[in-house]
């Protein structure tokens, strides 16, 4: 469904992606792991067209993303941002229903609000939260609202950018469970980037390890512990010693 072929991206002299090759099948939950600054977010944002790669090809359902009609293309995606990225000036329900209140998916406000409340309920939030503003919510609640917004228009593909960063272990577990449930329930294709190994085991069907701008290893999550790949091994066990240089 999503294919990245020899994708390169540099920011000045900093070569972030140096030939990324990756394929995510329809309905699969792919988790990309790797250290901070290895280009996980750049890879994800390149698929959405938020960052333009220097070279290489990115295809969704065999169609080059540069040739796709932008609105129709983006309508297939939902995304949960690392910090939630909720719009401060709008109440929670309008954040969730944002896509349903404008553009090709526009519907009456009352209907959009109903859908927003239903999605909030799906992520474990009460209807009273709908009229609050993002600044009145805790970090965990903001993540849930972000998740509700990502699924509001029932997208085919959902991206999760560091979904558990900044959350306590219990809330992180709740978010992981929600993500897994929603992806299975909707039959969506998911791409998650994280360095939280608990998340990886909870969310992933397949795992890809990004290091030095390339995918070092990819395979089913069940094979991760016996991969024999020294990079993956060092990363998943959090060892300071190994081929990945730890800056002290």
DSSP H or E segment with residue 169: helix 169-186
Which of 74, 132, 171, 186 is the binder for another protein (CB under 8 A)?
74
CB of 170 to another protein, least distance (A): 25
Do residues 215 and 184 make contact, with C-beta atoms less than 8 angstroms apart?
no
DSSP H or E segment with residue 2: strand 2-11
Q: Does position 102 bind another protein by CB under 8 A?
A: yes
Q: Does position 107 bind another protein by CB under 8 A?
A: no
CB of 146 to another protein, least distance (A): 9
CB of 9 to another protein, least distance (A): 16
CB of 237 to another protein, least distance (A): 31
Do residues 20 and 56 make contact, with C-beta atoms less than 8 angstroms apart?
yes
Residues 6+ apart with CB under 8 A from 141: 125, 129
Q: Does position 99 bind another protein by CB under 8 A?
A: yes
CB of 152 to another protein, least distance (A): 9
In whole angstroms, what separates CA 199 from the centre of its chain?
12
Q: Does position 148 bind another protein by CB under 8 A?
A: no
Q: Does position 186 bind another protein by CB under 8 A?
A: no
Torsion of CA 119, 121, 122, 125, to 10 degrees: 110
- DSSP helix/strand/coil, 192: strand
Name which of 49, 127, 51, 43 is nearest 91 in CA terms.
127
Nearer to another protein, 138 or 198 (CB): 138
Which of 82, 165, 186, 223 is the binder for another protein (CB under 8 A)?
82
At CA 14, angle to CA 10 and CA 206, rounded to 5?
65
CB of 223 to another protein, least distance (A): 32
Residues 6+ apart with CB under 8 A from 128: none
Which of 68, 75, 132, 214 is the binder for another protein (CB under 8 A)?
75
Q: Does position 87 bind another protein by CB under 8 A?
A: yes
- DSSP helix/strand/coil, 163: coil
Do residues 236 and 224 make contact, with C-beta atoms less than 8 angstroms apart?
yes
Q: Does position 160 bind another protein by CB under 8 A?
A: no
What residues from 12 to 71 belong to the interface with another protein (CB under 8 A)?
A: 45, 48-50, 70-71
List interacting residues with another protein (CB under 8 A). Answer: 45, 48-50, 70-71, 74-75, 77-79, 81-83, 85-88, 98-99, 102-104, 149
């Amino acid at each position: 469904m999503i294919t990245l072929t020899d994708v390169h991206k540099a920011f000045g002299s900093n070569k972030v992606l140096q030939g990324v090759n990756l394929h995510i099948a329809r309905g699969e939950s792919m988790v990309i792991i790797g250290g901070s600054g290895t280009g996980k977010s750049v890879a994800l944002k390149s698929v959405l067209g938020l960052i333009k790669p220097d070279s290489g090809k990115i295809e969704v359902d065999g169609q080059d993303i540069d040739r796709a009609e932008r609105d129709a293309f983006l309508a297939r995606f939902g995304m949960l941002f690392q910090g939630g990225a909720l719009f401060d000036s709008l109440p929670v329900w309008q954040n969730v229903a944002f896509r349903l209140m404008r553009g090709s998916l526009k519907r009456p406000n009352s209907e959009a609000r109903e859908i927003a409340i239903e999605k909030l309920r799906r992520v474990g939030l009460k209807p009273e939260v709908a009229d609050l503003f993002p600044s009145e919510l805790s970090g965990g609640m903001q993540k849930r609202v972000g998740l509700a917004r990502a699924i509001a228009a029932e997208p085919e593909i959902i991206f999760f950018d560091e979904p558990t960063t900044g959350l306590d272990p219990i809330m992180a577990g709740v978010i992981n469970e929600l993500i897994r449930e929603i992806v299975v329930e909707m039959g969506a294709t998911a791409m998650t980037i994280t360095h939280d190994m608990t998340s990886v085991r909870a969310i992933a069907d397949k795992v890809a390890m990004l290091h030095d701008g390339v995918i070092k290893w990819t395979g089913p999550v069940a094979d991760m512990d016996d991969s024999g790949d020294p990079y993956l091994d060092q990363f998943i066990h959090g060892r300071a010693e190994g081929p990945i240089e730890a800056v002290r």
